[in-house]
Amino acid sequence: MKKYLLYLLLLVNIACASDHYSSAPANPDASPEAVQLLNFLYSIQGKYILSGQHNFLYEPVKYTELVHQITGRYPVVWGCDFSFNVSGEDARKFQHCGPANLMDYADTFRFHGIHPDTLRERMVQKAIELWKKGHIITLMWHHCFPPLGDTCNGSSVWAMENRPSPELWDSLVTEGTAFNNAWKKQAEIIVPWLQKLRDAHVPVLWRPYHEMNGVWFWWCNQQGENGFPRLWKMMFRYFTKEKKLNNLLWVWNANAPRDIPGDEAYPYHLFYPGNEYVDVLAADVYRNDYRQEHHDQLVLLGKGKPIAIGETGDVPVDSILSVQPRWTWFMVWGYFIRFSQNPPEKVKALYKSSRVLTLDELAVKKDGLHLARPEKEF
């Protein structure tokens, strides 16, 4: 009985959180397109979930096309990664987060000497093309440890090689230090590409420093107000105030908490910068770990802001979506869409679900995206 009452109390809190929110973007100068996109996300939360698929820099529509081959439909959300330049013979060991975003996970390493700026240019042009067709764009960036600039062998992304000491972290987020200037120099590599998207009127669901509550990236596990939130706020202010990247919607993307020795992901709230710096809250869900609290805790933390499945290795099923209705999109991570946990029948069933929106079910109008089908009751 006690457990049941606690669950009812949680439901009441979630309902209250849903009723008290502002749909205004975190950036008061957000572009009209960004505002329209955010309003659309608010309009579908609790009703529908957008389908999504991550792709890699080298072949930016490979897995989106694979979804179409399997289901006959295109996902709405298209994801990609700015990645980083590659150096060193051991680059292929770190293909998952750097060079691998230039290739298929299982393929032979094949960079072909193409400079990453060429690949980024192709990616940005593809994003513009897909936005015009009605896709929603989300971008991320696995980037090197700041002192290394844009060129590293991949291992520097990981905390096992570069875990900043408290002193070094403080230097990173303190204006004018050498470490802070190195971070700005690194950010300047990505800013022009985001500006190209801004100038093309393409809003971007921008999800930097994902999985910050884990222990694997150099930006991970910096807990408390002086930890990760300072880095997030620093990028937010630099990109919005100084670089005028008003096309970005800010997606704070944690990992679903877990207690696995050596692979922990800590509670969301220890890393949250505050609602005034966030437009959407997301969680990466791997190992089919769709526990109810992963959904409910995001709803409570965001106080009504949209939430999303930023990445997943296992496509969600209808029975999960029926009890976790506030997710506004899911995005399968690249090659996972073809792995054994996602057989074609399972993927087809998801894309046929009345809860799941696909590209053909949206209409692009002057005031943004709209449903191109009658709303359904669940």
Which has the higher per-residue pLDDT, 151 or 355? 355
Angle at 143 between CA 309 and CA 28, to 5 degrees: 60
Tokens of 174: 């303190």
Q: What is the mean pLDDT of residues 247-270?
A: 97
- φ, ψ dihedrals at 204, nearest 5°: -130, 130
Segment 336-354 mean pLDDT: 97
* H/E segment holding residue 36: helix 32-44
pLDDT band at 110 (very low <50, low <70, confident <90, very high): very low
* pTM, 2 dp: 0.91
Q: In angstroms, rounded to a whole number, what is the distance separating the alpha carbons of residues 305 and 281?
A: 7
Q: How far apart are CA 201 and CA 139, in angstroms?
A: 15
Residue 107 is predicted with a pLDDT of 43
Asked whether the predicted pLDDT for residue 378 surpasses 90, the reply is: no
pLDDT tens, residue by residue, 185-232: 989 989 999 999 999 999 999 999 999 999 999 999 999 999 999 999
Domains recognised in the chain with CATH numbers: 31-371 (3.20.20.80)
Is the pLDDT assigned to residue 331 strictly greater than 50? yes
Nearest to 235, CA basis, from 202, 286, 284, 194: 194
Give the pLDDT confidence score for residue 327 in this predicted structure.
98
DSSP codes, 122-154: HHHHHHHHHHHTTPEEEEE-----GGGTTEE-S
% of the chain at pLDDT higher than 70: 83
**Burial track 291-314 (b if 16+ CB lie within 10 A, e otherwise):** eeebbbbbbbbbebbbbbbbbbbb
Residue 224's pLDDT is what? 94
